Structure 1
Amino acid sequence: MLTSIILLSFVTLKEIQMQTNSELHQVSDIEHKIDLMSSELWLLQQYHDEDALTQTRVAHEELKALLDEELFSQNSKNTIVANLVRMNANIGALLDLSQKDLDSNFRHGITSPAGMLSARYNMTIQSMNEDLGKLERLAIKDSELSQRKILYAVVILLIVGSAVVLILTLLTLKSFSTNLNALTLGIKDLTKGNLNSRIEVKDTDELSVLAQQFNLMKRSLEETTVKKELLQLEVERQTKELQQQREEFQHQANHDSLTKLYSRGAFEEQMQTAIARCGRTNQSAALLFIDLDRFKVINDCHGHAAGDAVLIQIAQKLLKTVRSSDIIARIGGDEFVIWLEPIENATQVITVIHKLTEELAIPIQYQDLNLVIDASIGVSFFPIDAIELSSLLKVADDNMYKAKEIEGTTFQLTSKVTVGLSDAKMA
């Protein structure tokens, strides 16, 4: 804006200068014509002949033609030009008188007609020269005044423009500083992990646009963080469920689904560890192989639901009878095994068997039925009968079949027990 004002002022000053030069040239032309007519009048006064008069008339007409043009736009200058036109017309009238004087007898002297005309000519030319000087001074004065106005206006506009620029600069600096401080605080909040705060945007400048983009970035980060946290929680939940399912599957793989006792595979794993432990510590242990009698009859007569109820209650009776450190498993339809560890003598095992017999003798309640179950128990001892699981199972299984030959709930030991243990109570 300031540059435009300065350029406009230069253009205006140039136009004023050109106008002044044009007016001065016009004044110069008028002055030239007046001087030419003055010269011709001097010749006319000296020689008083027809040629001098003719040349004077020519100069007079040229001056008249120049003055009749619209030379100036100001009224004050046109007034002076009008006065020059009037005086030029007076000279024309005087030239007519000079023509008459030439036609009459010419006489010299100041009081003669020629002398009077000469005086009138000189006075008119003098007046025209004075008006011409006024016109020239007026043109110069108007040019100076116009230039002074332009300069004053430019100075005022420059001062006002500079003040406006200064105010705008201060306001811009204040807005820039405010927005920059807000943006700095927003970045500090972001470095602290605060994604909820937002930068307050009031303006529409570049920093405000940047602040808006910063708010959008924080909102995107907040949404991403929330999604990440939700995803993490979902992963943790599913991991926990998978772990629970894995534990459930592992428990189901290691336990019988009906009785919740160890399954055959889990029992064999537990037994391998137990046998190795007894071998290291030189401890004795016993394996009870239990087969339920008349279970098939119950299944056939009362259904599988009754058979399942019998198996569940038998498992509870077994758990109730033995120690918590002993191992109990269901290895077949109605076959159970119990690993007793450690034992001191056969009497301790027989005591356990008697407890089992007492529990098994109690009828099992199923709906409105009292179901009686007998059991055949075969026993093998570690390490007297065997030191391997398969051998211990075979000995116990053989003894179980021997016990089946006897009515009721019975058990059977091997003959090695009575001679293999140093404790006399084993007999």
Structure 2
Amino acid sequence: MQYIDNAIFLILLIAGFGLFFKSLKEIYRNIKLGREINRTDRRAERWAIMSRVALGQSKMVKRPIAGILHIFVYVGFVIINIEVLEIIIDGIFGTHRFLQGILGDSFYGFFTSTLEVLALLVVIAVVVFFIRRNFYGVKRLTMKELFGWPKNDANWILIIEFALMVAFFTMNGADYYADTNRFGGNFPISKYIFPFFQNFSVETLHIIEKSAWWFHFVGILFFMNYLYYSKHLHIILAFPNTWFANLEKKGKFNNLDSVTKEIRLMMDPNADPYAAPAEGATEVPSKFGAEDIFDLDQHQLMSAYSCTECGRCTSVCPANITGKKLSPRLIMMKTRDRLEEVGKNINKNGGKFVEDGKKLVNDYITKEELWACTTCNACVEACPVLIDPLSIIFEMRRFLVMEQSAAPQELNLMMTNVENNAAPWQYNQADRLNWAKDN
């Protein structure tokens, strides 16, 4: 019977991790659909930012209550899952509490006690988060863009985390009351949660412990593979997303090399506009700006997968606050939706994208949303994982202006004035200093 359990465990372990790495491979492929971008400079600064923001949660605590609770979940859940190593060893080799023999009774007791305290903090945090999200009425968590799957997804994650912690306590509590001499004092939380376990027989407690153990193990595999479909993919991608973040000043517009060279060519009286391009010269891009996900860079696509849907960006967006349609969070969600749709298209058609008549601009993100943005960078500053919705808005605006001449009338008038008068205002260049005559 023991060997059957070990075989089932090993099959589930291989299948779970196999599906997980398959999902990661698909995400990596989808991200690679974007334009290549070189963000390997200033490595020491990038490591420091990733350590501070992704690992240290430095931007989360700007909203202290949510930030501290998130740290409870983050630290507690990660450290508790160190126990997964013990579960894997026990499951493969049929041992029980393998690490106790390695660490010794005293240190193992300290280890399990620490895990229990952290597990309790996780339970408290997820309960508060669930109440806060569903009953407290935080505006950024009750906006209509979260109706349906986004809200259900957030709730399911909280429920799964709660269930895993309950299974963890149940497993420990049953172990404690099944053999108090062996595990006495190691489980300071679970022994008080389940005092009625002392009335059960040792055989019953072993069944409870093993059932909770299996539930905990299968639940972890389920949670791990559920991440692909969930906003909680940021658990993994927050680290590379912060490492590859844009380190330039916020709002700095990235000029296109091809446009710069064209302007220099036009301004050079000795240049031959009909000359063949020099060997190795960069070709003029077939498209300016971004119409679809293929035109965005790979970090922007990674950011779409990394979005936590927390809404901090939208809650500080002046356009959204004043009732306009723009929501930076929704920009990222729609980008991810389009990216996933393209990925499914590729899967369906044998690894090749077949034109589906849809684009990110207009089909997913409207012009009204794009032109409502004030480019203030409040959304960029607010994001806890350094996502830059403004960069995506920039690229789609660039497409509308340079490819479709679809800028608003006021902007077209301003650009015409700049072209004709070298100023945004509609008057002759010779009259530019008239304002100073009476001073």
TM-score over 0.5 (shorter chain): no
Compare CA radii of gyration and give the structure with the larger one.
1
For the superposition of Structure 1 and Structure 2, which TM-score range results when normalised by the shorter chain?
under 0.3
TM-score scaled by structure 1?
Answer: 0.18
Scaled by the length of structure 2, what TM-score is found? Answer: 0.18
Higher strand share: 1
Q: Which has the higher contact order (CA 8 A, sep 6+)?
A: 2
